[in-house]
Structure 1
Amino acid sequence: MTTATATHDGERAATPRSRSRAAETAVRTWRDTSGKIAVVLLAVLVLLAVFAPLLAPHDPTAQQLAAANREPSWLGGAGGHLLGTDPLGRDVFSRLLYGLRLSLIVGVVTATASALLGLLLGLLAGYYESTAGAVLMRLADVQFAVPFVAVGVALAAVVGPGVVKLMIILAIWGWVNYARTIAATVSQTKRMEFVTAARVVGARTPAILLRHIAPNVLGPVIILWSTSAGVLVLVESALSLLGLGVQAPGFSLGSMLSDSRTTLQMAWWAAVFPGIAIMMVVVAFNLLGDALRDAFNPSARADQDPELW
């Protein structure tokens, strides 16, 4: 009896424990080339932003008019400025690190707020598709018909410029993409047997939505979030160029572009390097979105590259 029990325990211990769905998705994302590039690039950008106070060689807001428009040190510029100085003599590299921090915060926080709002409204629209869903989807159609630039400029002009106000506007405006995608999936999921069984045993609607339906729509939400974060960095940069984003003394990558556009011929580095940083952020999030899409839908990728899976 003891030997049989020991053998059974040994077999059970030798049996590999199955990974959770989240772990499997993470592994698939990392195996993807785009996923590796995105994770490494985002990790580098986040570390640069987090440790900006330690890495920045100069005060990012200190103005030295005598050192205005100096070339980068590797192009022969004096003063030891790695990426040169802007028209006000501020160190571009130091400002880049701090501006990257604010741009990442705007992109990630705003995309997360939009995702949560879109998830909630998408669940309601798909579950109550003939009542609340009809109203929300018509509202979404109207919002899609209006260019965001015009609305963003109008709202920013009414409520005033500022990064917090801009983030609120972007978060509220971004719910549509999530809700429209989620509503269709929820409409199909609520008719499945496990949802019907939950209703039969007396589960309340909030519990059904959060415990049984929401986990089935998290994949599209995460994919949309990853791409939206990069897009929102671009939107913030565009509005900052119009003077409706971050206001002095604060600054972001977009406001750095705005500050340097009038002296582009004299100090091209003050605009080019922030532009490259914005491009890297957007590319990283887009690559992450591509890798997550393949990870959540491995069958499509397996058809293209069976050995990978």
Structure 2
Amino acid sequence: MSGESAMIAAAPAPARKRRFKLGIWPFVAIFAAFVIIAIFAPLIAPESPNAQNLLGRLKPPGTESRGVLYLLGSDELGRDLLSRIIYGARISLSVAILSVVISSIVGTVLGMAAGLFRGWVEMIVMRIVDIFLSVPAVLLAIITVAVLGPGFVNVVIVLALTRWPRYARVAYGQTLSVANMPYVRIARFMGASPLRVLFLHILPNIIGPLTVVATLEFGLMVLFEAGLSFLGLGVQPPTASWGAMLSVGRNYIANAFWIATFPGICLFLLILSVNLIGDALRDRLDPKSR
């Protein structure tokens, strides 16, 4: 193949990469919109999410009852669905952020310690990781919530408890590849403490893959929270939750489809945007994809 032909064959790849980069921004905007809605929920929501109006129950979108305009309809208790969706975004994002932060910190610290110290530390940490990963995450979460009880705090603890092993695996593998680098060996030879080596020499060099994992896990945490709430094991009523709204909406799907449809669309858009942002970060931070 001539040099000119090779250039022509290689041209589409950068073009596809540019199109992908441009195409990710609408999903970044969607995710940012959900974050803004969650932060300013009291200012954005037209009504209180728990205010009941039994005379306005199961009203379709765009109708009005007793001075309340239901832009997205009302639920079985006459509560404004739009307001509950807005407050539900706050619950989903709060649970996802807290669980990702806790699980990433615990998993990263344990994984780096196992990769640096090796020996018995490596054996204990990685065997615990293997035990956690051998049990399906959803099943482990359901069992743990059933033991601890439902609620916002317990859901965060359960999700962090079930997902830290993935961070530990990534941190362990990345630490093994960095621990024998000359700068790390020199730092240890000069008497640097293990904590200094871990957090000043190793962590900055493995933060890229961990960031990608955290981004992808974020969408999974949103899905897990919705699933637990759907089963009645998550955030409890009357607190607004997308999963709980889906659970209630399935009973009225024939005559009030909007109760399940609009929370489902929001859940789909949030998880899709987070996953696509995670894919873009992986392409950006992974040297092999360049």
TM superposition score normalised by structure 1: 0.83
Residue number in structure 1 paired with 2:80: 91
Report the alpha carbon displacement of residue 297 of structure 1 after superposing the two structures with TM. Answer: 2.4
8 A contact 1:34–1:290 mirrored in 2: no
2:177 counterpart of 1:188: yes
1:198 aligned to which of 175, 187, 198: 187
Residue number in structure 1 paired with 2:164: 175
Report the alpha carbon displacement of residue 129 of structure 1 after superposing the two structures with TM. Answer: 2.5
8 A contact 1:71–1:78 mirrored in 2: no
CA distances 1:116-151 after superposition (whole Å, capped 9, x unpaired): 111101111111233211221121112111122322
CA distances 1:88-121 after superposition (whole Å, capped 9, x unpaired): 1111101110111111111111111111111101
Aligned partner of 1:38: which letter? Answer: F
Would the alpha carbon gap of residues 41 and 187 (structure 1) be closer, same or farther in structure 2, given more than 3 Å must change? same
TM superposition score normalised by structure 2: 0.89
Residues 115-264 of structure 1 aligned to structure 2 (within 5 Å): 115-264=104-253
Cα distance in 2, alignment partners of residues 166 and 299 from structure 1? 36
Residue number in structure 1 paired with 2:276: 287
CA distances 1:183-237 after superposition (whole Å, capped 9, x unpaired): 0110121111011111121111111111001111101111011111110010011
Cα distance in 2, alignment partners of residues 140 and 45 from structure 1? 33
Report the alpha carbon displacement of residue 175 of structure 1 after superposing the two structures with TM. Answer: 0.7
CA distances 1:136-171 after superposition (whole Å, capped 9, x unpaired): 112111211112232222221221111111101111
Report the alpha carbon displacement of residue 35 of structure 1 after superposing the two structures with TM. Answer: 4.0
Q: Across the two proteins, how many residue pairs are aligned to each other? A: 271
Report the alpha carbon displacement of residue 249 of structure 1 after superposing the two structures with TM. Answer: 2.3
Aligned partner of 2:249: which letter? Answer: S
2:67 counterpart of 1:78: no
Which of these two proteins has the greater Rg computed from alpha carbons? 1
Report the secondary structure of 1:117's partner residue: helix
1:64 aligned to which of 53, 69, 77: 53
8 A contact 1:85–1:270 mirrored in 2: yes
8 A contact 2:21–2:280 mirrored in 1: yes
Report the alpha carbon displacement of residue 261 of structure 1 after superposing the two structures with TM. Answer: 2.1
Farther-moved stretch of structure 1 (266-275 vs 135-144): 135-144
- Listed as ranges, the gaps of 5+ residues in structure 1 are 1-27, 302-309
Report the secondary structure of 1:174's partner residue: helix
Aligned-residue Cα RMSD (Å) equals: 1.9
Residue number in structure 2 paired with 1:108: 97
Cα distance in 2, alignment partners of residues 160 and 254 from structure 1? 17
Report percent identity of matched pairs.
39
